[in-house]
Amino acid sequence: MPYLTSVGEIRSLVAEYTNAQTLWIDTEVADYKSKKPRLSLIQVLDDAKDMSGDRVYLLDVLNQPDIVADFISQIMLNPSIEKVFHNASYDLKLLGNKKAKNITCTLEMAKKIPYYILPLSNYQLKTLAVELCNFNNIDKQEQSSNWGKRPLSEEQIEYAYLDCIYLAQVHKRLIELSQEISPDPAKEDLISLAARYQQVQQESKLVNSEFEHLQERVKQAMQAQKLSETSDLKLTSYERETVKVPFTELVKLVQTEGINLDFPITLTKKLKTDLGENIEQLSVDAEKTTSWRLTPKSQMDDIEEEF
């Protein structure tokens, strides 16, 4: 885990990174709660197989805006290099923001995995590292330490380099999971897939029914007992106001006052019926979309029997 403080060494390493295909990157920020956070460290790993930390470089960029600018221009804006972050939106605030190219965010990847495949209470890097990669005894205490102080402690340095290792391994597992849940549709076993679908559909009816029933009972009980919260739940209320006006009055007002109120209106089936042939006098922009509905044949038979 080389810790670089020399401007020359950092620039030389950044130049080497321009040839990389993928980089796993993390940052540590000083004064992160203030209006002027300062980038303290940029941690970079260029080999996902490295579990020792030998390929994790810690770049000390505190109060070195020129070095940060070099890193942004040569690495962050380079579309040929994939940059992997966790919660990328946070790191990018100080590393090129929206100008950054070819960014992968493991937080967003994890969120796209269906909950039944990845049933986690949260998507923090620590949680993913433990649950997906079987890392143990992860200590995040140094995350909120003073990253604006020099020299850094041994604990801070160890924490900084470990995050890149966690990140690379989590990224690898998320790629594997993404591939597992997205097989080639043309090669799917429809018999087993359909059977599982119908089984889950029936189970979901029971679960949803119980959930909705329990939800209403809890709401009613808390209101009856005049409780706004319990040790587990909080009850809140809100009001939604819907303002309606006769269409003819609105048209008259727009014409009388010369109000510029020109926007497309979606014509419902009833409106089209009411307009009749007069619709041909309008400039209609029709958009067609195709939706697919999956219905078990047994359910269709039940519907037909009702008639």
The whole-angstrom separation of Cα 190 and Cα 195 is 8
* pLDDT for 298: 76
Cα 276 vs. chain centroid, distance in angstroms?
46
The whole-angstrom separation of Cα 21 and Cα 78 is 11
Show the low-confidence residues of the chain (pLDDT under 50).
Answer: none
Q: 3-180 has which CATH code?
A: 3.30.420.10
The whole-angstrom separation of Cα 153 and Cα 141 is 13
Q: Where are the domains of the chain?
A: 3-180
Element (H, E) at 271: helix 269-275
Listed residue (110, 115, 158) closest to 138, CA to CA? 158
6 exposure class (CB count in 10 Å sphere: 0-12, 13-18, 19+): exposed
* pLDDT for 304: 55
* pLDDT for 296: 86
- Give the three-state DSSP class for 1: coil
The whole-angstrom separation of Cα 150 and Cα 41 is 12
* pLDDT for 23: 98
Sign of the torsion angle spanned by Cα atoms 277, 279, 285, 291 = negative
* pLDDT for 128: 97
Please give the model's pTM, rounded to 2 decimal places: 0.79
* pLDDT for 301: 59
pLDDT tens per residue, range 206-248: 999 999 999 999 999 999 999 999 999 999 998 999 999 999 9
